[in-house]
Structure 1
Amino acid sequence: MHIDVERYLNRFNVLPEVRTAVSQIPKMFINGDFTDGQATGTKAVMEPSTGQQLTEVLLGSTADVDAAVASARATFDSGIWSRMAPNERQNILLKLADLMERDADILAQIETIDNGKAIGPCKDFDVLGSADLFRFMAGWATKIEGATKSLSVPGDFFSYTLREPIGVVAAIAPWNWPLNMSAWKIAAPLAAGCTIVLKTAAMTPLSMTYFARLTQEAGFPPGVLNIVTGEGSVIGDYLARHPGVDKVSFTGSTEVGKSVALAAASHLVPATLELGGKSPMVVFEDTNLDDLAEATRWSIYFNAGQNCSAGSRLYLHRSIFDDGVKAIKDKIAALSVCAGLDPACDVGPVISQGAQQSIGRYLEMGKRDGDVIFGGDLPEGPGYFVNPTLIALDDNTHPLVQEEIFGPVLVAVPFDEEEEVIAMANDNAYGLGASVWSENGARAQRVSRQLQSGSVWINCHDVIDSATAFGGVKQSGYGKDLGREQLEAVLITKTITMQL
């Protein structure tokens, strides 16, 4: 661990369990045991607030994926989890949620050190939100049911359907929400009776290592959850096309998602893909601008803009354009940009130097072609920080409006008419999230129905709950996480017909 990281941890008095977790090379978790497996080496894990090395991660091999899939397959076929009494499976998942809540401070500190996000929201949303999801999905374990069928064919038959777990689920999680997105990938399959092989992001492997210990304490049978670490281009692709996998669930970039889809299709395995986004916020002249400004604070500026559904395209009615950008400017001017462990932190660093530099190129574009209302620069000093930025543009075709920047950069574009803004909002490759802002309920409903998006929020943005299905259209992917709808993707329907 670099001396600057050591000083950072000492400054904020991290918990002893956290210091242990972040100082060790995280092991893989296969068949209930932590192991180095047959790793081909290690890769540095950087701490974003200091820009220095934190630890290393094992570069797992295809042999490790084979071992993890074999463990998941043997456990699934044994029935120890898939045929466990539903209320027993429910109770184990509830125990896991209790343990996550008990260790919420530990998990939040690990996640913040590994990813850089602000510690307060990390505990509330990432950790406790994940615990809530496990509780929500645990309840479904006892509510999976089939149906009887009335047949019209000649004869006397009794026909019914069963809903059964699909089998081994390959879950590939992103670096921007290491714990939370892993929970999104695995909670529903676990409730249904599936077993899991989870690949964590190489940049952020630490929180799921600690989580694995909690599954042991909760009473998970060995092989129910298996975790492999390493490069996506090596073991992620291999896992997605593995013949021992029955379902693939991926969250990440659209470019990588397309390769995952092809890998899964190579052996006819269904995939759920939650990919990129460039979510519009359509704001009419009768909007409460204070509410709008607060929503941007928790959407595009929370997690330093590293959120696929963040409201990153702001369409403001021309009559309120100046007032709207002023309200948002005042909001973001009050945000504190600092190290994630600092209790005062509102906006932490982005994940890496490469991400910081990529965002910086967009900022230069904004200075050249638009009007920088606030921010627009990279602060000096250590760490991968980007100042919260608001840029005004009057060109819907500009790359700042069309491309996913994945940083704390909001682009404001004026519009005049309802039909005009609907066309502008839909003129984009992505379709993950969108919001409509108006006190006119009929207009808000009318516009919401015309937006090409998997989720639409009215007078709010990024309001996500365990009960609400989440997923996109167009280049944002297909399939749903969360809600009852996610269970449909991890259950198969078997029809049984008996002649009486």
Structure 2
Amino acid sequence: MGYETDLKLFIDGIWKTGEGRDAHTVLNPVNASPIAEVPYATKADLDEALEASNRAWPEWRSMDVEKRGAILHKAAQLLRERVDLIAATMTQEQGKILAESKAETLASAQLFDWYAEDAKRDYGRTLVRPAGQVSRVIRQPVGPVATFTPWNFPLYLLAKKVSAALAAGCTVISRPPHETPGVGTELFRALADAGIPKGVAQLVHGESGLVSETLIASRVIRKVSFTGSTNVGKHLMRLCADSMTRVTMELGGHAPVLIFDDCDLEKTLDMVVPQKFRNAGQVCVSPTRFYVQSGIYEAFVKGFAERTQKVKIGNGLEADTRMGPLANSRRPGAIEALVQDAKAKGARVLAGGERGDGGFFFQPTLLADVPNEAEIMNEEPFGPVAVSRPFDTFEEVIEQANRLPFGLAAFAFTENGRRANLIGDLVESGMVGINTFAISLADAPFGGVKDSGFGSEGGKEGMESYQVVKAIHQA
């Protein structure tokens, strides 16, 4: 299965490539081999995209919501029809197994369908006033939007931003990561083929500094939506401050998993191990810090290790592979350093712990008895490593769950209903999954607190993030 996506920029309704532009080599993380060249936007390209986005906005925001929705529905249909091509492109660029790539593509299509319909339910409200007077509260599109997305879910995270912004009536300029430009290209090809008007949705591959500084400095851009690391998110917020540009920030996490002794242990293990190694652990809500009640701790880590050792790693295009490589050359070394530091500080390696053979592989890994002093207990590994330690009391584990400055996702496994209610209230996190990992859904808000960012994507909150509120009073 070869790489078939034709990588181009999409600016003002025109596909562009070559013409003296710089290019970046796209690598297959299985063996670090080059598979394509992606053209980088120039300053002139970015200026053209800004002008087109600004010009197209009045027409797009005024378009009947049924017509806007029809375009989004058509894009969703095309994503489904092209799922095999898009999934193969994603696996070759990013490394995740083909089944996960297909699931991500279909979930992305669902986002476009959901927002196409949710735009029709964008209601305002009327306030109580004396006879002859009226006060209305309405929501309007914020204006042209710039989106920046990461490589770990290169289609879904892009679709989550673009679908909501377009449904709200905004125009969009998107910059996907250089590791995974093909899936972004295919998303915008679906929008183009669905009949999106010129300038409404534009794709600019390119050097991150040039793109972000050019777009954010422009007064055209009214909103920035970013998913990525906390450090980069804070940098973009500083850039946005000068122009008072609105931001949504979905940043890093370090998800705690609270395992209580009343859970169904075997069922819980069968759930948590595949989730830990989904996408090689490169998931912002990946279950990572496993706090296990002392009475079942040794049984839990034994069962976790046994299952971890059975996870087959390899090329994601092969049907029996259960975990692919990491997405780029930086990740194996970073993971290895964290594991070595944990070992030096007393952690036990119960499974994995080393790089794989060739490419950007790292073995599925379980560390036990990891002290809080270890870097991996304080820094998100963003890779296929689970860390574990025992706890005794409810108060103790809540304190440990809330210990870090991150608060994106948290999980718990218990059959005690009152305990589940308390966990939902007390854990400092934007999302909490109790006996489930299904927390990223089209109709539900997705976002964090503390250093994990602010604002939500998904659900009605996702579209509201691309709107401004206006109160109209008439006497």
What TM-score does the superposition give when structure 2 sets the normalisation length? 0.96
Q: Read off the aligned partner of 2:53 and give its amino acid letter.
A: A
Which residue does 2:50 correspond to in 1? 69
Following the alignment from structure 2 to structure 1, what is the Cα–Cα distance between the partners of residues 213 and 94?
23
Deviations 1:413-443 (A, max 9, x none): 1111110111011001210000111110101
Q: How does 1:194-343 map to 2 (within 5 A)?
A: 194-343=170-319
State the Cα distance separating 1:463 from its structure 2 match. Answer: 3.2
> Residue 141 of structure 1: SS of its match in structure 2?
helix
How far apart are 1:39 and its partner, in Å? 6.8
Residue by residue, what CA displacement relative to the aligned partner does 1:293-323 show, whole Å, maximum 9, x if unpaired? 2332343210011111111100001111011
State how 1:95-110 maps to structure 2 within 5 Å. 95-110=74-89
The answer to whether 1:134 aligns with 2:118 is: no
SS of residue matched to 2:344: helix
- 8 Å Cα contact 2:262-2:414 kept in structure 1: yes
Q: Does 1:41 align with 2:1?
A: no
CA distance in 2, matches of 1:210, 1:51: 22
1:85/1:147 CA distance change after superposition, 3 Å? same
Give, in angstroms, the shift of residue 59 of structure 1: 2.5
Per the alignment, residue 57 of structure 1 pairs with 38
Q: 1:40 offset after TM fit, Å?
A: 4.9
Task: Tell me, yes or no, if the aligned pair for 2:4 and 2:89 is still in contact at 8 Å.
Answer: no
The one-letter code matched in structure 1 to 2:124 is G
- State the AA in 2 paired with 1:88: K
Provide closer, same or farther for how the CA distance between residues 37 and 193 of structure 1 changes in structure 2, counting only shifts above 3 A. Answer: farther
The answer as to whether partners of 1:38 and 1:63 remain within 8 angstroms in 2 is no
Kindly tell me: are residues 342 and 148 of structure 1, through their superposed partners in 2, closer, same or farther at Cα, counting changes over 3 Å?
Answer: same
Shift in Å at residue 58 of structure 1?
Answer: 2.0
Question: What is the alpha-carbon distance in structure 2 between the residues aligned to residue 76 and residue 37 of structure 1?
Answer: 28
Indicate conservation of the 8 Å contact 2:370/2:387, yes or no: no
Contact 1:434–1:461, Cα closer than 8 Å, also in 2: no
Give the drift of 1:38.
7.7
Deviation at 1:272, TM superposition (A): 0.3
CA contact (8 A) 1:254 1:475 kept: yes
The worse-fitting range, judged by mean Cα deviation, of 327-336 and 279-288 is 327-336
Equivalent residue for 1:20?
4
Tell me how far apart the structure 1 counterparts of residues 202 and 348 of structure 2 sit (CA, whole Å). Answer: 49
Is the partner of 1:366 in helix, strand or coil?
A: helix
What is the CA–CA distance in structure 1 between the aligned matches of 2:438 and 2:393, rounded to whole Å? Answer: 25
Residue from 459, 470, 494 that aligns with 2:435 = 459
Give how far 1:462 is off. 4.8
Deviation digits for residues 52-93 of structure 1 (CA, Å, limit 9, x no counterpart): 11222222233322211211111002x1x2111111111111
2:129 aligns to what? Answer: 151
The match for 2:93 is: 114
| 1:417 aligns with one of 393, 397, 414 | 393
Shift of 1:495: 2.2
Query: CA 1:219–1:205 in structure 2 vs 1: closer, same or farther (change >3 Å)?
Result: same
**What one-letter code is carried by the residue in structure 1 that aligns with 2:352?**
G
- Alignment partners' CA distance in 2, 1:376 and 1:85: 56
Task: State the Cα distance separating 1:393 from its structure 2 match.
Answer: 2.1
Distance 2:84 2:107 in 1: 13
Give the whole-Å Cα distance in 2 for the aligned partners of 1:237 and 1:459. 42
Alignment match, 1:360: 336
Structure 1 distance, partners of 2:43, 2:331, is 28
Structure 2 residue ranges without an equivalent (≥5) = none
Distance 1:462 1:378, change over 3 A: farther
Equivalent residue, structure 2, for 1:371: 348
Distance (whole Å) between structure 2 residues aligned to residue 459 and residue 120 of structure 1:
23
Tell whether the 8 Å contact from 1:37 to 1:64 is kept in structure 2 after alignment.
no
Q: Is the 8 A contact 1:396 1:424 kept in 2?
A: no
* Count of aligned positions: 474
- d(CA) in 2 for partners of 1:102 and 1:438? 41
| 2:70 aligned partner | 91
String of CA shifts for 1:227-269, please: whole Å, max 9, x gaps: 1011212212332333210111000000000011111221111
Equivalent of 1:471 in 447, 450, 459: 447
- Cα deviations across residues 176-218 of structure 1 (Å, max 9, x unaligned)? 1111110011111111111100011111111111222211221
> Which of 488, 495, 498 lines up with 2:464 in the alignment?
488
The CA distance in 2 between the partners of 1:483 and 1:252, in whole Å, is: 20
Which one-letter code corresponds to 2:119 in the other structure? A
After superposing the two structures, state which structure 1 stretch, 348-357 or 28-37, moved more.
28-37
Unaligned segments of structure 1, at least 5 residues? 1-12
1:400 is matched with which residue? 376
1:165 alignment counterpart: 141
Whether the 8 Å contact between 2:260 and 2:292 is mirrored in structure 1 is: yes
Percent identity, aligned pairs only, is 33
Letter in 1 for 2:350: I
Separation in structure 2 between the aligned mates of residue 192 and residue 28 of structure 1, nearest angstrom: 24
1:30-65 per-residue CA deviation (whole Å, 9 max, x = no partner) reads 011111388751222111011111222222233322
